[in-house]
Amino acid sequence: MDSDPSFYKNLLYHIRDGVYFVDRDRRIRYWNEGAARLTGYSENEIIGRFCHDNILSHIDGCGNHLCENGCPLSAAMRDGQGHEGSVFLRHRLGHRVPVSVRVQPIYAKDGSIEGAVEIFSDNTTQTEAVRKTEEMRRLAFLDYLTQLPNRRFLEMTLQTALAEYQVHRSPFGVMAIDVDSFKHINDEFGHGCGDRVLQGIAKTLSKSLRPSDIVGRWGGDEFLAVVRAVDHRELAIVAERSVIIAHNTEILSDQQTRIQASISIGATRVRSNEALSELLLRADQMLYVSKSAGRDRATID
């Protein structure tokens, strides 16, 4: 085995997981290729910056900003213990990426703690997602702009879910989702920027929902999610979590202005002896309540 330190540094640089080191001041001293791939930020853009500059804007599922309060790197340097968790980082393009993080303190030769290392990996099933995407593209079930399922696919999914409910009483919910102030974004920043907002929200939604859920583009700036096997409380958790994660999506305009996107959601569960049109109408009514109450929120029937 090669004992040259540069061999191990090169090996670490090319592993698939993201790896970075910080010193006691939380200044980033090392950034590998995996970190660049998962975040969109190159080594030159990150080295020398501080973790608390909030570049990646780590948040948990409740929307708490961990870089400001609750940083696992700080905790590891404080207590000398390893820390793990599931968080969402903000990609350079603005959308949210779910990652699993593992943090360990770094010890100097004298036994003191001189920094910490964080290893993070994509928390989505990428291989399965790629396979599904290719299959939907082949069958013309994919929306070209957002790369999400299109309305045709969603309608088929709804029909299947309703049939399963009628036979097996398998509960499911529907979330009607609308991008807030989308017309203003188009008018103020142009349709190209509006398209990037839709793409950012689409990526954030697809990565924040559960693997069993389906979200697609219903039309225009509207999305729709079919949420499987949920009671009222679980549906509320999924809807409110989606609003929180989307609220932390930021898109750059052509003028390099950061646009903070948000969504409104109307959610409801299927009921006995109702048609899909009634279910979708009720979800739309709940969406209208959310938008009338100030947007950036979820209303669950």
Residues known to be catalytic: 221
Spatial contact of 112 and 19, defined as CB atoms under 8 Å apart: no
Which pairs count as long-range contacts for 158-161, CB under 8 Å and 24+ apart, including other chains?
Answer: 158/226, 158/276, 158/279, 158/280, 159/276, 161/226, 161/228, 161/270
Q: How far apart are CA 14 and CA 11, in angstroms?
A: 6
Q: Rounded to 5 degrees, what angle do the CA atoms 96, 294, 207 make? A: 15
**What are the tokens at 88?**
């969402």
Q: What angle do CA 92, 64, 286 make, to 5 degrees?
A: 90
Contacts of 274 (CB under 8 A, 6+ apart): none
Question: Residue 295 in contact with residue 233, Cβ under 8 Å?
Answer: no
Sign of the four-CA dihedral 123, 128, 134, 135: negative
Rounded-to-integer distance, Cα 99 and Cα 77, Å: 21
Yes or no: say if 177 and 213 are a contact pair by the CB < 8 Å rule: no
